Amino acid sequence: MDEKQKIIDFHTHVASGMCFPRSFNDGVVDNMTVALTSKGLPVSRDKVARMHAGTLTDPDCDELVRQMDEAGISESVLLLPDFTYALRDSTHTIEQLIDHHRAVVERHPGRFRVLVGVDPRWGADGLALFERSIVEYGFDGMKLYPPCGYKLSDEALYPYYEICERYSLPVLSHIGATSPVLDFEIAQPIYVDRAAKDFPGVDFVLAHGSVHYPDEVAMLCNNRPNVYVDVSGYEAFGATALRTLFGRGINHKVLFGTDWPVFRLQGRQVNLVEKLEKEGAFPESMSDTDRDLFFHGNAARLLAKNKLKQGAPPAA
């Protein structure tokens, strides 16, 4: 890795239990326990639960900033999915979580952007909360979590997309599997297609697209000018999937992301960055320009479109 390589991490979360409902975490722990015990490792579910809880110990992002500095990551995008409508055992309301993310941004000036999620089923109050987070709090786009029970083409999302189009903000969505307490089928990437066609002024980013539905994701990125992919989740699957992705002719659409703190047990952020080079994720044919686009340029380009931060008046 070139020590001077600029890096923006487009996929991180606040590492705190407040952001993930109890049932969501219980499902994650169940899967971790099955995976570890099937390999013959002598771990109890209680021990796995303690290990997982230990990754959620940085509510103010102080440790994340230290690890960003160590890894050469200048900015990270904090993603705030709204689980509070689908999973009613959340400890905080979505409004409280938005306020907390605002405090984190203020605590670490210049280090974080926020893409905020509000479940569309909250109705007019949810829409007003989302717009306030954009206009008053200065957040940079929308984070969606379809496994909570809606498709990316759901017309209930269209008023949110209209706000994002008005201010030129990206929409990042989880795709694929997640905690087993939620639905997987509804989180297929093809459901972005109609929305991407109806809102050409909105950039849609499909998270985990190098490992979940990679063929479909690459097809969408190749053929919809406003569809992008982030590679978060690569830590679990090794370099092969990334090498394949980088050979698909869409390097101008691929964004680096670590999914902090999901892979915190694998090492520090610097280890996850260095993992790419060590495991041969980059094809020999990949140019320095394409590497820069992956680590920094593509993310910087999407974030720079924000009309509110440009000082330009939004479209009517």
Per-residue pLDDT, 82: 98
Residue type for 91, please?
T
Per-residue pLDDT, 151: 98
Question: How many other CB atoms are found less than 10 A from the CB of residue 301?
Answer: 14
Asked if 264 and 32 touch (Cβ cutoff 8 Å), the reply is: no
Asked if 246 and 298 touch (Cβ cutoff 8 Å), the reply is: no
Per-residue pLDDT, 316: 46
Asked if 170 and 207 touch (Cβ cutoff 8 Å), the reply is: no
Per-residue pLDDT, 4: 65
Mean pLDDT split into 10-residue runs, the chain, 316 residues? 79 98 97 94 94 97 98 98 97 98 98 98 98 98 98 98 98 97 97 98 97 97 98 91 95 98 97 95 96 98 95 51
Residue with tokens 């109609």: 194
- Burial class for 4, CB neighbours closer than 10 Å (0-12, 13-18, 19+): exposed
What is d(CA 118, CA 67) in angstroms, rounded to the nearest whole number? Answer: 29
Per-residue pLDDT, 315: 47
Cis peptide before 59 (omega within 30 of 0): no
Distances (CA, A) of 51 to 47, 48, 57, 68, 263: 6, 5, 11, 22, 12
DSSP-based three-state secondary structure for 16? strand
pTM, whole model, 2 decimals? 0.96
What is d(CA 313, CA 311) in angstroms, rounded to the nearest whole number? Answer: 7
Distances (CA, A) of 29 to 17, 35, 145, 178, 258: 13, 10, 20, 12, 20
The DSSP code sequence of 247-277 is: TSS-GGGEE----BTTTGGG--HHHHHHHHH
Per-residue pLDDT, 310: 85
Domains along the sequence of the chain with CATH? 7-16+58-309 (3.20.20.140), 21-55 (no CATH)
Per-residue pLDDT, 5: 85
Residue with tokens 């140019």: 287
Q: Which two tokens stand for residue 263?
A: 């892979």
